[in-house]
Structure 1
Amino acid sequence: MKRTSAFRKVSGFTLIELLVVIAIIAILIALLLPAVQQAREAARRSSCKNNLKQIGIALHNYHDLFSKLPPGIVEFYDSGDRGNWGWAAYILPSMEQSTLYNSLRISEISLAEALDDPAMVTAMKQSYPAFQCPSTPVPEQTDRDINPLSGGPDVFLTVSTYVGNGGSWRLYKTKAAAASAGRNEGCVNGVFWSNSNVRFRDITDGTTNTILVGERTWELTNLSTPLSFKGRTHPHAAHIFGTATAASNTYYGMADVLGVGESHINGPGYPRNSFSSAHTGGAHFLLCDGSVRFISENIDHLKSTSAVDSTFDRLLGRADGDPIDEF
């Protein structure tokens, strides 16, 4: 007869073994999280790059149709600082937004007139991901107001994180206005400005050497200065549809759709007028040939005067006579 023991051997974890397993799992999770975050950011960067490529295709389509690029701003000089359409509004049909373009009557009326129509305002307050970098958290609408034609309440529209190339230095409506302010060479030397009509053949430095569109983020984490005059100390991104403009030759409002080389990429100074991104180390730029490049924030750009005297200045200038081979 087989005798069984009154005691059975019970297998399992001791408390120490359990704690060791938990610690190993915690370490693995800690190692995994940065990798997941990096993968997500890589996907967001890829999406941002694709957005710019689509914008590039749309701009080239516009040029094919009209033999010129859209104007930076189609401006009807108005002392009331009322709204006028910007360059992005004119490429909406090539961005799969033909219905929106037609409903806003962009080819028929000014932005100021559209802002008096509640249905049009509602459409312009919607989010359009094709004009927003997914790495940049943005509010539902901008804090930069535009006035309707009636002079009614200020209107705040949706946000874009992409701006057209307005030149190497500061925003002026014309070369004459820049000259009267003692600034000329690096001003109004980009691809877009007030009522501009640039053709690719006018970009004599070459389309592979000239910036067409670049990024501007909503807020830079490296800027501790609080918000001051009209958002100068923070980028506050841009507008899709247009901007408020004044009858004078000042840059007022043009920064809502255009960027210049007044500040370093992701740098302090006048980021409201310049280029920046939420990506580490630089920003994406669409070149005039349709390619997209990530340009380092450390690119040669010692900005102190309106002279075109740095690599980044030359990339922004369309015809400075000094094309860039490598950057």
Structure 2
Amino acid sequence: MRWKWPMAVLLGLCCLVVLSLLAMGIQAAREAARRMGCSNNLKQLGLACFNYHDTYSVLPPACGGTGPTPGYDTLSNQRRLSGFVGLIPFIEATPLFDTISGPYVTGDMPTPDPEEAAHMKGPYFRDHLDELSTAEGPLVMDNGDHYFPAMGPAPWLAADYPPWQVRQYGLRCPADPTERPAKHAALLNYAFCYGDGVYEVGYEPGLYLEFRDHAADALSQRGAFASGVSFSFDDLSDGTANTILLGEVVTYDGSRRAVGAVASNVAGLRDDPGLCLQAVASESPALHYRQDVALRMTPDGLASRGGNWADGAITWSGFNTILPPNSPSCDTEREHRLEGVFSASSNHAGGCQVVMADGSVRFITADIDTGDLHQASVYRGSPIADTVDSPYGVWGAMGTRGGGPVVE
């Protein structure tokens, strides 16, 4: 005797199948929209780099600014200003840049031009500042008003300087839902490419480093961007279509996910960057750091990768092309040093997006060729100090100004 399904059961099963397919389709459509929005942001940042270059004949330094003023973080930005600050006039954020580029009087909130304010991709500028901090600055005008100097204080003083807290929607990927902590600097999901260097890669070449008693290495800065240095498109000898300008980074969400945080105090990275992979728990399929690994956090302890849009430290707003996308990031010592392995990452499945120096946006998969990850990086005194080609395969070559063959 053949057993028959009741019609109601069959209809119910069909409905469940249809609803499941619809849900998957909606989820896929939402992810496609988020990825497209992120791609558009990168295109706009690439265009901003072109416009900056047209204006100044060079790209902005990834890190620079006023100062330094040792011991006085309120008197300058300590040359830690991110290159994104210089780019915001070219991404329709002129009112914010005008506020930053002049003395900031804490009791006198600026009123932007109405037409310019209409272009702001967030709450009305003045109202948004009023909601933030009104801390007194360190300097005093003749009338008794307190103010911060032009180009602001150190980026880690965001709690006292409201412009560092203003969110720029063009610097956030729609796929990253993390919101900035209260009184913390605005977050960002895009980072400058420093190339394939590790040793002292985040320092201005030639800058005297007291903690090492020598000048910062000048061979490690092989990308389109570096701290304290402005390159031009003419310096990109691999060609603009083969050189990365910027890529994605995931912000810290409070977990130990490797893509959003940095493992600290990992020794030996300059000669074996693959050691960074050992900071991840072997039983963690989603790449979480081991419980005994300390994380590198912003000074307030609330953020890590992408943790401060105004801070030019490679730790927060830069990456190098060594480990493939969505890999862990590691720095080298217990103290915060601007060197290590800092990976590009995203919440898009399978990889991340980058914008090339010709303005095109590419999706880079996590299985891209990375060469020999246990090969020493290029630095003064390295076994491969005289090399031109990147030791880290196609990914390494894409990140350098002149580090390998043309990438098809």
Structure 2 length normalisation: TM-score?
0.63
Structure 1 residues without counterparts, runs of 5 or longer: 1-14, 143-154, 244-252
Write the distance in 1 (CA, Å) between the matches of 2:163 and 2:217: 39
Q: Residues 49, 182 of structure 1: CA spacing in aligned structure 2 closer, same or farther, 3 A cutoff?
A: same
TM-aligned CA deviation for residue 125 of structure 1: 2.0
> How do 1:158-307 and structure 2 match up within 5 A?
158-170=186-198, 171-175=201-205, 187-218=220-251, 219=257, 220=259, 222-225=286-289, 226=291, 228-231=294-297, 236-243=305-312, 253-270=313-330, 273-301=342-370, 302-304=372-374, 305-307=376-378
After superposition, the CA RMSD in angstroms is 3.2
Matched, 1:57 2:117: no
Say which of 20, 23, 37 aligns to 1:30: 20
TM-aligned CA deviation for residue 23 of structure 1: 2.4
CA contact (8 A) 1:206 1:323 kept: no
Partner of residue 145, structure 1? none
Write the distance in 2 (CA, Å) between the matches of 1:216 and 1:40: 20
Deviation track 1:128-187 (CA, whole Å, cap 9, x = no partner) reads 221111112222249xxxxxxxxxxxx6201101000112132241455799799775x2
| Corresponding letter in the other structure for 2:95 | T
Deviation track 1:241-265 (CA, whole Å, cap 9, x = no partner) reads 224xxxxxxxxx3322211124321
TM-aligned CA deviation for residue 100 of structure 1: 0.6
Deviation track 1:184-224 (CA, whole Å, cap 9, x = no partner) reads 75x21112222111011111111111000001112538222
Write the distance in 1 (CA, Å) between the matches of 2:152 and 2:287: 33
CA contact (8 A) 2:394 2:407 kept: no
| Corresponding letter in the other structure for 1:34 | M
CA contact (8 A) 2:35 2:175 kept: yes
CA contact (8 A) 1:62 1:68 kept: yes
TM-aligned CA deviation for residue 121 of structure 1: 3.1
Write the distance in 2 (CA, Å) between the matches of 1:269 and 1:124: 25
Matched, 1:21 2:11: yes
Say which of 298, 311, 314 aligns to 2:397: 314
Write the distance in 2 (CA, Å) between the matches of 1:49 and 1:36: 20
Write the distance in 2 (CA, Å) between the matches of 1:29 and 1:64: 52
TM-aligned CA deviation for residue 269 of structure 1: 4.9
Matched, 1:157 2:227: no
Q: Residues 126, 141 of structure 1: CA spacing in aligned structure 2 closer, same or farther, 3 A cutoff?
A: farther
Matched, 1:109 2:150: yes
| Corresponding letter in the other structure for 1:52 | L
Indicate the structure whose relative CO is greater, using CA pairs within 8 Å and at least 6 residues apart: 1
Matched, 1:48 2:38: yes
- Once the two structures are overlaid, the 10-residue window that deviates more, 207-216 or 311-320, is 311-320
Write the distance in 2 (CA, Å) between the matches of 1:104 and 1:19: 65
Q: Residues 158, 114 of structure 1: CA spacing in aligned structure 2 closer, same or farther, 3 A cutoff?
A: closer
Deviation track 1:78-124 (CA, whole Å, cap 9, x = no partner) reads 54494432111111111110001101127972442687797x83343
CA contact (8 A) 1:192 1:258 kept: no
TM-aligned CA deviation for residue 40 of structure 1: 0.7
Write the distance in 2 (CA, Å) between the matches of 1:255 and 1:99: 28
CA contact (8 A) 2:155 2:311 kept: no
Write the distance in 1 (CA, Å) between the matches of 2:155 and 2:395: 37
Q: Residues 228, 81 of structure 1: CA spacing in aligned structure 2 closer, same or farther, 3 A cutoff?
A: farther
TM-aligned CA deviation for residue 56 of structure 1: 0.5
Partner of residue 124, structure 1? 164
| Corresponding letter in the other structure for 1:61 | N
Write the distance in 2 (CA, Å) between the matches of 1:106 and 1:26: 60
> How do 1:81-120 and structure 2 match up within 5 A?
82=73, 83=77, 84-105=80-101, 109-112=150-153
| Corresponding letter in the other structure for 1:104 | I
Partner of residue 12, structure 1? none
Structure 2 residues without counterparts, runs of 5 or longer: 104-148, 252-256, 260-284, 332-340, 379-389
CA contact (8 A) 1:157 1:239 kept: yes
Tell me the secondary structure at the aligned position of residue 124 of structure 1.
helix
Deviation track 1:2-54 (CA, whole Å, cap 9, x = no partner) reads xxxxxxxxxxxxx9433332222112101211111111101111110000000
- Once the two structures are overlaid, the 10-residue window that deviates more, 293-302 or 264-273, is 264-273
